[in-house]
Chains A and B, each alone.
Chain A
């Protein structure tokens, strides 16, 4: 007699209604066309239009931005995590906390503040002018969007990498040194492989969210740069075209599954998103 199972019943019902059914609805809207007579027919026209030239170019642009963002985040975060780890462990964890702290501040506010900072009459341009450079158009450029993405996603790269550093058994490094490895060899052959799982977690926490973001590009890139998330939002909130919108969402989900499969393959046994 074990009744513990029944405790999960409310949740299972809830999950079917609010997680499974909504996903099936996306598939339904993406693949089923309602004719004028009200009949339902299967169609691939929405998927085709979601993969057509204009939205494909938006998708490719988003992938490119996300890729650049991921690489830049990694290049910035890896040395930072290494240096944090080399500090005294107490100080390192405090400084790490300082890096995490802004995540509790609304990201829209922080991104908005960058708008003021990058403005033609903002502080950055003023400093440039003091140094004798002409004022630059920083806002509403591709650079501003990527900058904003790096700013927002950097902590998500730093945290998992730093966590994997703190788990390193320092006797490995001593062993490497005892066996005559120099600092560079130790870094490349010992430390780097030991932090691989953190890097992979970091990549999954930066890349896909960066592809699907829609607010950052709108605030910093203006109407010039449209990312995949913006396209999706337009389709739903402005045009109210559920079918094409759902087809775009299906494309996004397939991308997500692909990237997850890639991660699983390159890193068996480590769960993505392990905070």
Chain B
């Protein structure tokens, strides 16, 4: 009975996984289809992979996506880290106010954030395009950085900074050499989160650029209405393989580190 029950549980998880991976599998299979259809198989080909790297529209949108993801998350990381350090020193009332306002872009529906930024750009007559998309990405990225840095600040010893100042460090030097190194894990996870958010964003990009520039999501959206070309299937296959490889590398590394620190702990015990 319990054996059967265990099988049922695993079967349920397997069904859910199939449900989640089915469309991805579909995209991968049909990236090798020689026909343009997503429902009829007409033979194996690598053509779409070749065409992908000569399609100027796709290459352009990949470039926009990557450059905006990198620039916006870098700027957000710098501004956000400094902001977190400053906010942490605010008086209680001010700090709560700023933190609550910072939560707005995270809480609000993407569509509302996108529209509000579009209204601003229209109001001050900034032409919509690459710059407005970049600004918008920085806007929604900064909160992720701030909220991953602040918890580390809370756990930090305030006296270290004071000590650095007493020893003659300028505030800037003390921040760089004393505070930033301790915040590093928070800064890095904030950066990674900002990068993935930016890379995947559709709604805010769509509104803030008004379709003047296309990142990958906007390109896919405009294609989806008329029927995607198989080059996009090829691209998604490549992207998915990249993500999997990256995750495997990260996991293997974490595992090795865990094993190593385990050994070290054992050695330390023995030495005692």
A-side residues, CB < 8 A to B, are 2-12, 14-15, 17-23, 25-26, 29, 76, 79-80, 83-84, 86, 95, 97-99, 101-102, 104-117, 119, 121-123, 151, 154-155, 208-209, 211-212, 214-215, 219, 229, 232-233, 236-237, 242, 245-246, 249, 252-253, 256, 260, 272-273
Q: Say which one of B43-51, B110-118, B263-271 lies at the interface with A.
A: B110-118
Shortest CB distance A107–B (Å):
8
Write the B121-139 contact mask toward A (1 if CB under 8 angstroms, else 0): 0110000000000010011
- In the complex, 10 of the A-B residue pairs with CB atoms within 8 angstroms, ordered by the A residue number, are A8-B82, A8-B84, A22-B116, A86-B9, A101-B243, A105-B240, A109-B220, A113-B38, A211-B109, A256-B108
Contact assessment for A4 and B119 in the assembled complex, using a CB-CB cutoff below 8 Å = no
Sorted from nearest, which 10 A-B pairs have the closest CB atoms? Answer: A8-B86, A11-B83, A113-B23, A22-B116, A116-B38, A212-B109, A7-B86, A7-B82, A83-B9, A4-B89
Contact assessment for A108 and B102 in the assembled complex, using a CB-CB cutoff below 8 Å = no
Question: Who on chain A is nearest to B21 by CB?
Answer: A102
Contact assessment for A215 and B202 in the assembled complex, using a CB-CB cutoff below 8 Å = yes
10 other A-B residue contacts (CB within 8 Å) besides A101-B243, A252-B109:
A10-B83, A11-B79, A11-B80, A11-B146, A104-B196, A106-B236, A108-B202, A109-B232, A113-B24, A212-B111
B-side residues, CB < 8 A to A, are 9-10, 12-13, 16-17, 19-24, 26-27, 30, 38-40, 79-80, 82-90, 98, 101-102, 104-113, 115-120, 122-123, 135, 138-139, 142, 146, 161, 171, 175, 196, 200, 202-203, 207, 210-211, 216-217, 220-221, 224, 228, 232, 236, 239-240, 243-244, 247, 251
Contact assessment for B108 and A253 in the assembled complex, using a CB-CB cutoff below 8 Å = yes
The answer to whether A102 and B24 touch (CB under 8 A), given A19-B105, A95-B13, A212-B112, is: yes
Q: CA separation between A117 and B217, bound complex, in Å? A: 21
CB-CB < 8 A to A151: which residues of B?
Answer: 19-20, 23
Contact assessment for B116 and A108 in the assembled complex, using a CB-CB cutoff below 8 Å = no
Contact assessment for B12 and A99 in the assembled complex, using a CB-CB cutoff below 8 Å = no
CB-CB < 8 A to A86: which residues of B?
Answer: 9
Shortest CB distance B145–A (Å):
10
